[in-house]
Structure 1
Amino acid sequence: MRRVEHVMGFPVSVRIDDAGFPEAPVDELFAWLREVDARFSPFRPDSEVSRLDRGEQAEPGPELREVLDLCEEYRLATGGAFDVRPPGRRLDPCAVVKGWSVQRGAELLSAAGARRFCLNAGGDVVVSGGPWRVGVRHPEDAGRLCAVLDLTDRAVATSARYERGDHILDARTGRPATGLLSMTVVAPTLTEADAVSTAAFALGPQGITWAASRPGCEVFAVNADGKVLRSEGFPVTA
């Protein structure tokens, strides 16, 4: 089974290799992602995030509280470089919401009996079974890969400047983080991979060592000079 839908501002594709897998859990996956977009997008004025930011909602609901607690964990771990509410800006937890929600979607598929699948959300990927071959885009040439990974029951996320420009801030300075061209993190879950890659990118060059020290995380980074640095256990094949 294969399906692609545009959700949360990017294409989400799912491939399930289990013969005869039913459509209903895939419907549930995409319904969940649409619900997340409606509730947690800072770009929707009626979302829970927007209402909370404007003071129209006193407390976050349980799921948004879970997301905000993760955001605070990474803010503290990076000494404030990663912050979803930097001074003078609106609340924007997208850096955590994306990986967290897609990981939840993968867990929905697993609970429904899927054993071998690949879920790709705008280039951030979580796989079950394997091995799966996953490419990492070259940060300066969209037509090239800088690495190919073999992944089994893992997730990978990349934070970079090539798609959205200098959109990741170092909240300590309020300025765009420009010390890296890209930061790719492999982790047990996409919740971790996505949040760690963004937080490490915000930290700049020191984020490479920081990310590699996180339990279960392996990193592949390209610094501002184009030099590649990777942790010993990064599952690269080419």
Structure 2
Amino acid sequence: MLRVDHVMGFPVSVRIDDGAAEPEAATDEVFAWLRQVDARFSPFKPGSEVSGLDRGEVSADDLSPELSEILDLCEHYRIATRGAFDVRLPGRGFDPCAVVKGWSVQRAAELLSAAGATRFCVNAGGDVVAAGGPWRIGVRHPERADRTCAVLEITEGAVATSARYERGDHILDGRTGRPVTGLLSLTVVAATLTEADATATAAFAMGAEGVEWAASRDGCEVFVVDEGRRVFRTPGFPVAR
């Protein structure tokens, strides 16, 4: 079955090909979870836990286990990038969306597995987590919306891309507060979408130096197009044959 809905500000598609005894119920659970995440962790909703924390109305002792986990992930990537990735930029509110998206969609995939699904694909605004492949996944050309610049193939795992083509210069270097330069798009393949999405965003925030950093991460394969239109990819990046 295939279902597409709009949640957390982008389209999400769930495709289940095999394994789930009740695929519709499993898909309902996925979208219910994603809507719950949006209500609890969106910085754009005044009543969310994230907004309450940002206003000082939620103390560290009162955090939910899920938000504590998200904060730990945010701090991990801030330290790992020496401040280039930072969800608390001066003059801006606390915004953990770069971590929440991959984390929540990975949890959604785990709900499908728990429901018995063995072959499925979840596509959340172009970031993908899949199982039971092979699955062929296109990487959008950073300057041509109607073209791909690579097609990869995975059996199980996740793919995430950070780029400037959808939202412009929306990723800022936390060390300078300025938009990132040097890269057009950066794609990461990893075992989970939590890792792939956060690594792609964190590496993009580092600019050109983020390419080597992402490539050095255990279990991550990387495909990059820089501002000079040069392409870099790690040897293990799973290009489709």
Q: TM-score, normalised by structure 1?
A: 0.98
Structure 2 partner of 1:49: 50
- Distance in 2 (CA, whole Å) between partners of 1:173 and 1:21 is 51
Question: Does residue 15 of structure 2 align to residue 15 of structure 1?
Answer: yes
SS in 2 for 1:17: strand
- Distance in 1 (CA, whole Å) between partners of 2:234 and 2:21 is 37
Q: Paired residue for 1:157, among 160, 166, 175? A: 160
Deviation at 1:57?
A: 1.0
Structure 2 partner of 1:26: 27
Structure 2 partner of 1:84: 87
- Distance in 1 (CA, whole Å) between partners of 2:64 and 2:53 is 10
Provide the identity percentage: 74
Q: Paired residue for 1:180, among 183, 191, 213? A: 183
- Distance in 2 (CA, whole Å) between partners of 1:82 and 1:106 is 26
Q: For structure 2, list consecutive stretches of 5 or more residues without a partner in the other structure.
A: none
Structure 1 partner of 2:106: 103
- Distance in 2 (CA, whole Å) between partners of 1:178 and 1:143 is 24
* Cα shift readout 1:108-160 (whole Å, capped 9, x = no counterpart): 00011000001000000000011000000000000100000111111000000
Structure 2 partner of 1:71: 74
Stretch moving more, 65-74 or 18-27: 18-27
SS in 1 for 2:147: strand
Structure 1 partner of 2:115: 112
* Cα shift readout 1:84-125 (whole Å, capped 9, x = no counterpart): 001221100000000000000000000110000010000000
Q: How many residues align?
A: 238
* Cα shift readout 1:154-175 (whole Å, capped 9, x = no counterpart): 1000000000010000010000
1:119 counterpart letter in structure 2: V
Deviation at 1:53?
A: 0.1
1:49 counterpart letter in structure 2: V
Structure 1 partner of 2:198: 195
- Distance in 2 (CA, whole Å) between partners of 1:21 and 1:130 is 19
1:8 counterpart letter in structure 2: M
Which ranges of 4 or more aligned residues in structure 1 deviate by more than 3 Å? none
Q: Paired residue for 1:166, among 155, 165, 169? A: 169
Q: Paired residue for 1:128, among 131, 137, 142? A: 131
1:213 counterpart letter in structure 2: S
Q: TM-score, normalised by structure 2?
A: 0.97
Deviation at 1:20?
A: 6.4
Q: For structure 1, list consecutive stretches of 5 or more residues without a partner in the other structure.
A: none
